[in-house]
Structure 1
Amino acid sequence: MSAPILIMGATSGIGALAVTEAAGRGLPVRAFARSADNLEKTDLIEPFAWDARSAEDVTAAFAGARAVIYTLGIKERLAMLWEEETLFSDSTRVLIEAMKDSDTKRLVAVTGFGAGRSRSAMSSIECFGHGTILGRPYADKDRQEAMIIESEIDWTIVRPVILTNSAKSRGLKVLRDPSTWRNGLVSRRSVACYLVDAVEDGLDIRADVVLTR
């Protein structure tokens, strides 16, 4: 059996769908999340119920992994309007340090449209609404992206636009040229499929892309 893909944030949203997508292709997965104990262990899925901010836990999860898919997210709450968010930068700092000392050099990380340099593709109205509601979480995603870009690993930054729970889109567009970046809708299933493709096919290494339909 081939080396597993470590999926961080594996029990909800895009991460859970990426686990299903990878296993459906016969690829072994190491499913990393605080609540991974709720997952059933199978021949292809190995649950890891550990902490993404813990260097010891992340280093242990790396053992023998071929790549990392990062899909960590936060629960939406009123307090995120004023509380500083550090999950994305804290966990990414730990992750990159662990990758320096491992044989795992491939990272596919989900952030979001409006993070990093994709913010310049937003209209002034979009920027205002996005900044008002998601300003603090996305400020941390900005820090996260900067860490990834400055690292020496084989990274891909993936920015989905507004997410839906619809079926996988046949017309998924991977926007690579910043002049084409735009907002829109994309299904979580389509994003999960791209993440696994990016690992399997070596897509968009050391590049940042926007996903839409």
Structure 2
Amino acid sequence: MTTSAPQSNLAAFPKIVILGATGPTGRYIVAQAVASGYDVTVLVRSPEKAAELKGAKIVVGDARDEKALRQTLKGRDAVISALGTPASPFREVTLLSTATRALVNAMKAEQISRLIAVTGLGAGDSKGHGGFLFDNLIYPLLLRKVYADKNRQEAIIHGSDLDWTIVRPSILNKKQEHKPVRALTDLSDVHGGTISRKDVATFLLDQVTSSTWLNKTPFITW
């Protein structure tokens, strides 16, 4: 299945929370959301790193803390989670699943249903579609433990009663130009790919007011 332009079938959600806002993709999401007129709140551990997030309301706290999440979510309509974690060849990774479990609980408590979350190519049934270098070297040597946690994160979202969309981007780059984005659920002919963080941010924001990928897990690439 392929699409290039999600259809807007849901009512607009002007008040959104962005997690992972100080990360390289999160910064693009915040900038585009503010420019589009969204009322944006971000939860960050380090206010210093959030200084450049102009136009967003800054809440200081830990994304694994359900109490902090509930305070951040009050009065909001949707959540975009762009939480990430660095490569960890040796240590177990639990940040993504722990934060997502707390987020799902907080969203239910605050009666917020719409969640858009980013994982990555290699998570779930997209494993083995990253191309020779990624599948045989990068994934097993550097990212195996990270992706084990991404899989736990996806399972938590799948098991929730939320209106979720899980987005799996191909290899991320820093290019600034926009290109047509392909969104796929049939990965039979997928063997890697690349996409800019900027275009990932645009796709994520499109999902806030679209039901095209509701309860689905699209892989996106150029």
| Alignment-derived partner of residue 111 in structure 1 | 119
For this pair of structures, how many residues does the alignment match?
Answer: 208
Q: Say whether 1:47 aligns with 2:58.
A: yes
**1:98–1:206 CA distance, 2 compared to 1 (3 A):** same
Percent identity between the two aligned chains? 36
Deviations 1:134-193 (A, max 9, x none): 000110001111111111101111111110000143221111323354411100000000
Aligned equivalents of 2:180, 2:21: Cα separation in 1: 25
| Alignment-derived partner of residue 6 in structure 1 | 17
| Alignment-derived partner of residue 149 in structure 1 | 158
**C-alpha deviation, 1:125, in angstroms:** 5.6
5 Å-filtered alignment, 1:42-81, equals 44-76=55-87, 80-81=88-89
Task: Identify which of 92, 96, 106 aligns with 2:100.
Answer: 92
**SS of the residue 1:131 aligns to:** helix
Deviations 1:25-60 (A, max 9, x none): 111110122124533686x41011210011110111
Could you state the TM-score of these two structures normalised by the residue count of structure 2? Answer: 0.87
| Alignment-derived partner of residue 199 in structure 2 | 190
Aligned equivalents of 1:36, 1:168: Cα separation in 2: 29
Could you state the TM-score of these two structures normalised by the residue count of structure 1? Answer: 0.90
Gaps of 5+ in 1: none
| Alignment-derived partner of residue 20 in structure 1 | 31
Contact 1:176 1:209 in 2 (8 A): yes
Bigger proportion of residues as helix:
1
- Which runs of at least 4 in structure 1 moved beyond 6 Å after TM superposition? none
Contact 2:129 2:135 in 1 (8 A): no
- Structure with the bigger RCO (C-alpha within 8 Å, sep 6+) is 2
**C-alpha deviation, 1:103, in angstroms:** 2.1
**Please, what is the CA RMSD of the aligned residues?**
1.9
**C-alpha deviation, 1:123, in angstroms:** 5.3
Gaps of 5+ in 2: 1-12
